[in-house]
Amino acid sequence: MRRAPPEAPAPSTRTGGRPRLLLDLRMVEGHLHGIARYALALAARIPALLPEVDVQGLGPPGGLPDLGRLAPQFPVRPCPARFLSPFEQPALAASLFSARADCFHATSFSVPLLWPGRLVATLHDATHLVRRSDYGRATALYYRAVVRPRLRHARARLTVSAFARTELARCLGFAESTFQVVPPGVDADFRPPSPEALARARAALGLPGRYLLAVGNPKPHKQLGWLAQLAPRLPAPLVVLAGPSVRTLGLPPGVLGLADVEERHLPALYGGAEALLLPSLHEGFGLPALEAMATGCPVVAARAGALPEVVGEAGLLVAPGAEAAWLEAVGRLQAEAGLRQTLVERGLARARAYSWEACARATADVYRRALG
């Protein structure tokens, strides 16, 4: 692929209207992972923060799924090619030219190499670069041929944690100071659930009376398969929410695997758990930890990636892969009521420090500078 051309000047105002900003929503399909939630949270808040800007979205080829209250309240154009498909780059360029976009926010690492307009790019982590053996040569080539050259001409480079900023700068060859950290937030619906909400979630999802929760996906660094093998030695049944490919984890008997959960039941799923277990070896942020803390669910997380930065002293941090240490940490939560209550209180306080409103305000300031 050819290198990105120098950025073409974009007009500060459109003929007869406002400058147009396109938000990348192409990854919003099926199970809503962390990046999709990030993009939708911005989509819900940016139009009110930037009334002087025409905000639109770029979605997957078949349009956005039924998102209920999460659905953007502005036009979303379908992109002809799927996210990271072989025809992505020409389709992405054609969509942006057709939309007459003045600025594009690439909300994931998929950036438009063949479109020279004003770009804001969010990279959530450096997992693809740090753990190359898990993703193959094609992904490394994509970063070398598309991501790195296009980022050189971006108006802003955003990421979600200080840990991610350090790794991205090192792996991509940029100064750390060129990445701005804008942490994500947690939705107001994530709060300690009522007994009625807990009962509804238990009935809808078939949850056991007591359970430990794990949230992620089957990628090797998430270590959900490793955790599932510990399940027979855990003091409560394990429930694993891991998206449509949860079956590929090969969960042992007694472990409940959930492919997806309706938005209305998610806070109760977290809040009803005795703890959230996050054994991941690498996270750019770790949104499930924040969502769990907001619902009053204690967190046991790996001392790896950005998890110590996000969890702080509001959870138990354990060496990744250390079976005995994980069993001991979970056992302490069961045996020490005072410890559990302390972590619940600390978690609630820590979650209040993160909000999608603050994330959106900081990002709106970035858009103003990019369009100025």
Specify whether 156 is located in the same domain as 298.
Answer: no
- Asked, for residue 319, whether it belongs to a domain, the answer is yes
pLDDT digits (tens, 9 = 90+) for 154-185: 999 999 999 999 999 999 999 999 999 999 99
Specify whether 175 is located in the same domain as 227.
Answer: no
pLDDT digits (tens, 9 = 90+) for 334-356: 899 999 999 999 999 999 999 99
Specify whether 210 is located in the same domain as 167.
Answer: no
Cβ atoms of residues 358 and 187 within 8 Å: no
Specify whether 200 is located in the same domain as 223.
Answer: yes
Rounded CA separation 304/130 (Å): 13
Burial 141-167 (b: 16+ CB within 10 A, else e): ebbeebbbbbbebbbbbbbbbebbbeb
CA angle 285, 287, 292 (to 5 degrees): 135
Q: Which residue has the higher pLDDT, 58 or 83?
A: 58
CATH of the domain at 207: 3.40.50.2000
Rounded CA separation 122/55 (Å): 17
Nearest to 92 by CA among 75, 80, 77, 109: 80
- 9 contact partners, CB below 8 Å, separation of at least 6: none
Specify whether 141 is located in the same domain as 226.
Answer: no
Rounded CA separation 119/154 (Å): 5
Residue 127: count of CB within 10 angstroms of its CB = 22
- Asked, for residue 1, whether it belongs to a domain, the answer is no
Specify whether 344 is located in the same domain as 249.
Answer: yes
Predicted TM-score of the model (pTM) = 0.92
CA dihedral 237, 242, 247, 251 (to 10 degrees): -30
Specify whether 230 is located in the same domain as 345.
Answer: yes
Nearest to 147 by CA among 131, 177, 123, 167: 123
pLDDT of 135 strictly over 90? no
pLDDT digits (tens, 9 = 90+) for 245-292: 898 998 999 999 999 999 999 999 999 999 999 999 999 999 999 999
Query: Which two structure tokens, joined as six digits, stand for 271?
Result: 């809040």
- Asked, for residue 10, whether it belongs to a domain, the answer is no
> Which residue range(s) make up the domain with 124?
20-185+356-371
At residue 149, the pLDDT reads 97
Can you point out the beta strands (E) in 14-155?
20-24, 54-59, 76-78, 103-106, 118-122
Q: What total of structural domains would you count in the chain?
A: 2
